[in-house]
Structure 1
Amino acid sequence: MAATPFTRPAMLRQLTEVPEWDVLVIGGGATGLGTALDAASRGYKTLLLEQSDFAKGTSSRSTKLVHGGVRYLAQGNIRLVFEALRERGLLLRNAPHVVTVQPFVILCYTWWQRFFYGAGLTLYDLLAGRYSLGRTTWWSRLTVLGHLPGLKPEYLKGGIVYFDGQFDDARLALNMAQTCAEQGGTVLNYMRVTALTKDMDGHVNGVKALDLESGQAYTLRAKAVVNATGVYVDEILQLDQPAQKPLVMPSQGVHVVLGKSFLPGEAALMIPKTPDGRVLFAIPWQDHVLVGTTDTPLHSISLEPVALETEINFILQTAGAYLQKIPTRQDVRSVFAGLRPLAAPSSETGDTKEISRSHKLLVAPSGLITITGGKWTTYRQMADDTVNAAAKVAGLPAIPCRTERLPIHGAIPAVTIPASSNSTMQRKQESSPPPALARYGSDAPHVLALQEAEPTLAQKLHPDFTYTLAEVVWAVRHEMARTVEDVLSRRLRVLFLDARAALEMAPAVAVVLAHEMNHDETWQREQVAAFEMLAQHYLPQRYEKKTVRIP
């Protein structure tokens, strides 16, 4: 299929112009987008439907790491680590504008820790092979404190330094959706699947869907239907078989965001064993510090999970044991929770550490394909397996996966993964976007051109951030943003960085959206009110509203 312009009206037209899809994917998170991108790149007629916005759920709420999984290595899951390290290397090559190399330090307070962690991370490097990002090394006490000046120095012997990847999860998801469209696929947000349709033999042959913006209902035929809805997979499975046993046991992860002053420098901190046996990270991210995560079993799910008081306190107390400047509730800029779709165990257990992080692929007697589990880093491999299964179910021509060397939208041409294991992924790019717009990659000049064409659009949305009005316009015209939340939560990451600042930006964003989408002042007020209600979940303290004027 020819590329479809990345606008919602253009995508909607495809629903009536294509009589039957080869592959229909339900779910617009990492797994669903990866599956749709893989299918479209093979030439299959592909449609993806997401009930909310792309990456609204788990896929925008990660720890922002593209990693092999040091904790999985400690658990002996060599296969998962090996696969993830390879996929990490491919992501760095295919999406260099959103994925970067991040040095991590594991603090050592005994010489035994130096030996133990050093040996394990040397194996981590060996498993990465030619996809290594840099060689594990030892930093002395003074070197560690020089790179991480915010640490408490007491009893510190030094630190083990290793390298992993960091990324902007929501932007990568968006860029995957754009790449899918460039490959001829059709992707739609705010399109809820309400039912599965079946033929006389009971085989799934399509879905019924509702456009949440217009209220229009659609019946869409497809040769293969993929359930890639993350923590919601059981809901779709029950549309197929109402008596279906739960396939997923959700777990909640919480992160708090602090100011950069708590951990100055470019290195991240990895605490391999907290008092309750979990792993905690403190990571420099977009000029802030991201600290997390927790791992709390849940029995109910929500599109907007809320951090528990115990989770916030646990993170602050654990971080405070290592940082000179002890963080308090007043210091937290934002707190967010995400749900992990962990494959449910066969035994009765509430311990999420016992649950497999590997993905599971199931094909029901009806032909419904379900993919669940896994992690962001391995989305491409999960998609490969899923599309292979879909091709068999649908009787499609056997076409090999093409995503291993497929650049993601926005990628600026870069040099390949380094031959030297000492290198930290040095790249020579043909051109570099302005630092404030680097996340747009090859789209940055176009965003900049908007500002130059209309100087009023160069105005910043908030004095503490570089985001401009032009970026809101770009998000509406070229990134399928439909709401204030879409812009401030996922196109720009303000809600996840500083919830109070996001609240102050909301009215100006609503004005731009209304102008671009031809909405009235009532719509603007409703959008701001909805965003204010949403943002309360991201605030550790009650918000006191103040006005920020945008001319």
Structure 2
Amino acid sequence: MATTTQPLSTARAQLFAQLGPEQTYDIAIVGGGATGLGVALDAAARGFKVVLVESHDFAKGTSSRATKLVHGGVRYLAQGNISLVREALHERTTLLNNAPYLAQPLPFVMPSYQWWETPFYGIGLKMYDALAGKAGLGSTEFLNRDQTLSALPTALPAGLKGGVKYWDGQFNDARLALAIGRTAVGKGALLLNYCRANDLLYTDGKVAGLVCEDTQTGTTYRIQARCVVNAAGVWVDELRQKDGAANGADGRRPTKPMVAPSQGVHIVVDREFLGGEVALMVPKTADGRVLFAVPWLGKVILGTTDTPRNDLAREPLPFKEEVDFILSESARYLRRAPTRADVKSVWVGLRPLVKPQDDDGDNTKGISREHTVLVSRSGLVTVTGGKWTTYRAMAEDVLSKCEEKGLLKATAKGVTTHLRLVGANGAPVPVQSISKAPGLHSYGDEQAAVQALPGADKPLCDGLTEAMVRFAARYEYAIKVEDVLARRSRLLFLDARLASTLAERVGAILQEETGIDPEVAAFVSLAKHYLELPQ
């Protein structure tokens, strides 16, 4: 187990005590999403002394708001980016192997309503299979009309010609992020959520650490580190601007923004709108975007959009046209189209799309067109872009750049390729499909530890018990009701109204466990936000 069972307020104090002035870390990471946690795990697994700070909760931002797909990127294949697809397919298999209880294969069907669609998309997906090779999850199949309706029983039958079935993967993003982080802790890393990086420290003009603040107590800490990695996702430019300002006296141009945020909207409805265990994928909607209908934890996720957004709100609202797009496009392919009244939850994620950069001429475009690693003149390492599927490869790229610039000693990479995550290291347990209802299967081989806690026989709702809340507080860094109902369990993302009704009970358990204000009222307000559909 990763922590003790003492009140978390005491446990947090002990964690922060490790930031004493006599401590110097090899690497300090800002950002507790998929990218930052991946870097922390890779660095700790190589033997580096690692600290990671996250201003909110782990995976609070983009990393808990994915479409829940572990995929090679079919659209990149259409663009001819073979190397990127091959890398993603390799990483897809690695991820599924290292956390089989949180990431699993999932069949998809593309229904064809034009005669040419089945052969056209089918040939491309056969190439997808060929690129995957031994890492393939299943063979692409050409389906006739009856076979397509058998796989997608709620598909609109009028005009249906057939379809193509192929395989990719799905996962529980927020819980996977937590598993990566806890695995890093097991390798010696120090992780701190609700700890905001306010500024950078410098020695002789070079980045030498962070100034951070425990947002729960207001206490400020100075972290000495040989290397600082800025992995704050769409928010990386905030720290980059501070770095640029601190080094502006050398006549350098003002730091250019690196990220152009794009908004993705997802709508959740009941399982009956899709039925079965097969996802629906439309490769080209009326305006050229992709549409998914994905079975996930007993519900169906409809999405996603791709809309430029200028602000960096932590809880962005969907635009009316995005909601209208998802619902209207769903009506073109589903026998019974969901309406606004059927929506159980709607969430928005900001994707960090990388602008063309020439930051000191040090852009690692050659590593990947999906993510970018920059090193400023002062030595601040920034990584952004990319996608969940390739988080591990991104971490390797970051550390390679740190070593190339002399910020870390050179080490052999590949240490995380076969490193199974927390929950996948003990005695094998039956793996239940994560497309079905939530429950103990989300804990892998830690199920017995959850069941041993008080309240294992006291359900709060289907798939959530009092013991799970206690486990979240004792071993999973949960402080607030939101931490539990949004990310340790996924109830806010599945049924925001139901989640709101449980806030008081979850808050009482957290208060008992941690001695910290669980912010019940704030969560109730947030849950309303997840039910807001612009008219």
- The residue number in structure 2 matching 1:385 is 397
Deviation at 1:380, TM superposition (A): 0.5
Q: What is the deviation of 1:395?
A: 4.7
Secondary structure in structure 1 of the residue aligned to 2:424: coil
Q: Distance in 1 between matches of 2:280 and 2:271?
A: 13
1:506 corresponds to: 503
Q: 1:184 to 1:4 in 2, by over 3 A?
A: farther
1:27 to 24, 31, 35: 31
Verify: 1:296 aligned to 2:295, yes or no: no
Q: Which residue of structure 1 lines up, in the alignment, with residue 251 of structure 2? A: none
Instruction: Pick closer, same or farther for the CA change 1:18–1:393 going to 2, 3 Å.
Output: farther
Once the two structures are superposed, what CA deviation does each residue of 1:28-78 show, in whole Å capped at 9, x if it has no partner? Answer: 000000001100000000010000000000000000000001111112221
8 Å CA contact 1:357–1:375 kept in 2: the answer is: no
Counterpart position of 2:141: 137
The one of 236, 241, 249 equivalent to 2:260 is 249
What residue is the counterpart of 1:51 in the other structure? 55
Q: Name which of structure 1's ranges 108-117 and 309-318 shifts more when overlaid on structure 2.
A: 108-117
Q: Deviations over 1:321-370 (max 9, x none)?
A: 111111111100000000000101469xxxxxxxx961111111101111
Query: How far apart are 1:208 and its partner, in Å?
Result: 0.3
How many angstroms does 1:433 deviate by?
6.9
> What is the match of residue 458 of structure 2?
459
- Match of 1:80, SS state, is helix
Matching of residues 151-190 of structure 1 within 5 Å: 151-190=155-194
Output the CA distance in 2 between the equivalents of 1:208 and 1:275: 49
Moved more, 430-439 or 24-33: 430-439
Q: Secondary structure at the match of 1:241?
A: helix
Residues 4, 37 of structure 1: alpha-carbon distance in 2 compared, 3 angstrom cutoff: farther
Is the contact made by 1:4 and 1:11 (CA closer than 8 Å) also made in structure 2? no
Check conservation: 1:281, 1:292, Cα contact below 8 A. Answer: yes
Q: Deviations over 1:417-444 (max 9, x none)?
A: xxxxxxxxxxxx8332788301100111
8 Å Cα contact 2:154/2:336 also seen in 1: yes
Contact 1:4 1:182 in 2 (8 A): no
The 3-state SS of whatever aligns with 1:461 is: strand
| Counterpart pick for 1:212 among 212, 215, 224 | 215
- Determine if contact 1:330/1:541 at 8 Å carries over to the other structure: no
> Could you say if the C-alpha distance between residues 229 and 346 of structure 1 is closer, same or farther in structure 2, counting changes exceeding 3 Å?
closer
SS of corresponding position for 1:88: helix
Pair 1:412–1:223, CA change in 2 (3 A): closer
| Residue matched to 1:310 | 321
**Residue matched to 2:446:** 443
- Show the counterpart of 2:375: 363
Q: Post-superposition shift, 1:110? A: 2.8
Is 1:203–2:206 an aligned residue pair?
yes
Whether 2:327 is the aligned partner of 1:335: answer no
Once residues 56 and 532 of structure 2 are traced to their aligned partners in structure 1, the CA distance between those partners, rounded to angstroms, is 25
Query: Does the 8 A contact of 2:450 with 2:456 survive in 1?
Result: no
CA deviation profile, 1:496-533 (whole Å, cap 9, x unmatched): 000000001111001101111125xxx46xx2210121
User: Is contact 1:224-1:393 (8 Å) kept?
Assistant: no
Deviations 1:445-476 (A, max 9, x none): 111122xxx3x4422213xx221111101100
Distance across 2 between alignment mates of 1:4 and 1:26: 22
Q: In 2, are the aligned partners of 1:476 and 1:513 still within 8 Å (CA)?
A: yes
Q: Distance in 1 between matches of 2:384 and 2:105?
A: 27
Deviation at 1:11, TM superposition (A): 2.5
Could you say which residue in structure 1 is the equivalent of 2:478?
481
Read off the aligned partner of 1:399 and give its amino acid letter. T
Could you say which residue in structure 2 is the equivalent of 1:117? 121
Distance, in Å, in 1 between the alignment partners of 2:452 and 2:157 is 48
Picking from 466, 469, 472, the partner of 2:466 is 469
Distance 1:344 1:324 in 2: 41
Match of 2:249 in 1: none
Counterpart code for 2:306: D
Contact 1:342 1:357 in 2 (8 A): no
Q: Structure 1 residues 66, 433: closer, same or farther in 2, change over 3 A?
A: closer
Q: State the AA in 1 paired with 2:418.
A: R
Could you say which residue in structure 1 is the equivalent of 2:362?
none
Amino acid at match of 1:172: L
Q: Which amino acid aligns with 1:19?
A: Q
Q: How high is the TM-score relative to the length of structure 1?
A: 0.89
Deviation at 1:18, TM superposition (A): 5.8
Task: Return the offset for 1:9.
Answer: 3.9
Residue 421 of structure 2 is aligned to residue 408 of structure 1: yes
Residue 132 of structure 2 corresponds to which residue in structure 1? 128
Shift of 1:394: 4.8
Alignment of 1:275-286 (within 5 A): 275-286=286-297
Deviation at 1:166, TM superposition (A): 0.2
Whole-Å separation in 2 of the counterparts to 1:288 and 1:160? 23
Structure 1 residues 40-49 or 6-15, which shifts more?
A: 6-15
Q: Distance in 2 between matches of 1:193 and 1:38?
A: 21
Residue equivalent to 2:66:
62
Contact 2:323 2:533 in 1 (8 A): no
Correspondence list, 1:515-534, <5 A = 515-519=512-516, 523=517, 527-534=519-526
Q: Is the 8 A contact 1:4 1:184 kept in 2?
A: no
Report the CA distance shift for 1:39/1:346 in structure 2 as closer, same or farther (over 3 A): closer
Question: What amino acid sits opposite 2:501 in the alignment?
Answer: E
Secondary structure at the counterpart of residue 477 of structure 2? coil
Partner of 1:430: 428
Superposition pairs of residues 340-351 of structure 1, within 5 angstroms: 340-345=351-356
CA distance in 2, matches of 1:8, 1:99: 30
Structure 2 stretches of 5 or more lacking a match?
A: 246-253, 359-367, 433-437
Query: Root-mean-square deviation (CA), in Å?
Result: 2.0
Residue in structure 2 matching 1:322, options 323, 330, 333: 333
- Contact 1:224/1:394 (<8 A) preserved: no
One-letter identity of the residue aligned with 2:303: G
Find the counterpart in structure 2 of residue 545 from structure 1: none
User: 2:424 is aligned with what amino acid?
Assistant: A
Please tell me whether residue 375 in structure 1 is matched to residue 387 in structure 2: yes
What is residue 529 of structure 2 aligned with on the other side? 537
Q: Distance in 2 between matches of 1:308 and 1:469?
A: 36
Instruction: Give the counterpart letter for 1:513 in structure 2.
Output: L
Give 3-state SS (helix, strand or coil) of 1:276's partner. coil
1:213-240 per-residue CA deviation (whole Å, 9 max, x = no partner) reads: 1111001110000010100111110010
With the length of structure 2 as denominator, give the TM-score of the two structures. 0.91
Amino acid paired to 1:530: A
Taking structure 1 as reference, are residues 473 and 219 closer, same or farther at Cα in structure 2, changes over 3 Å only? same
Instruction: Report the alpha carbon displacement of residue 411 of structure 1 after superposing the two structures with TM.
Output: 1.2
Provide the residue aligned with 1:418 in structure 2.
Answer: none
Count of paired positions: 506
